[in-house]
Amino acid sequence: MRFRGFDFNDRLEGRLADYARYLIERDMWEDMAKYFDDEHERGNSHVPMYETYTRMLGEFQPLWRRRVENMTKMTQDQFALSVEEMRAILAARVNPSNRR
């Protein structure tokens, strides 16, 4: 899994990219800065990504919510996703209407 950026030709995604850069410039999202460098097209995916990210987030949120609800004490292991969970999130990248 890796962040692919936002489509700068899409109005909403262009604004999201601007906001991401704003956070990076203020040291709030430093880990993502590498995805906004010249090697990564300054964060331009050249294809719409918002719906993809939304589907992946929709898959992730219930997994995370269950994990947090079932926590009894905080341990590092409780934050790690299983291979099956990661596969489910990755599978959400593909638009169901495009599957054959």
Reported as a single tens digit per residue, the pLDDT across 12-45 is: 999 999 999 999 999 998 889 999 998 888 999 9
Look at residue 94 in the predicted model and tell me its pLDDT: 86
Strands (E), 1-100: none
Q: Which helix (H) or strand (E) holds 66?
A: helix 50-69
Band of pLDDT at residue 67, cut at 50, 70 and 90: confident
Rounded CA separation 87/85 (Å): 5
Q: What is the pTM of this model?
A: 0.80
**Using the 8-state DSSP alphabet, how is residue 50 labeled?**
H
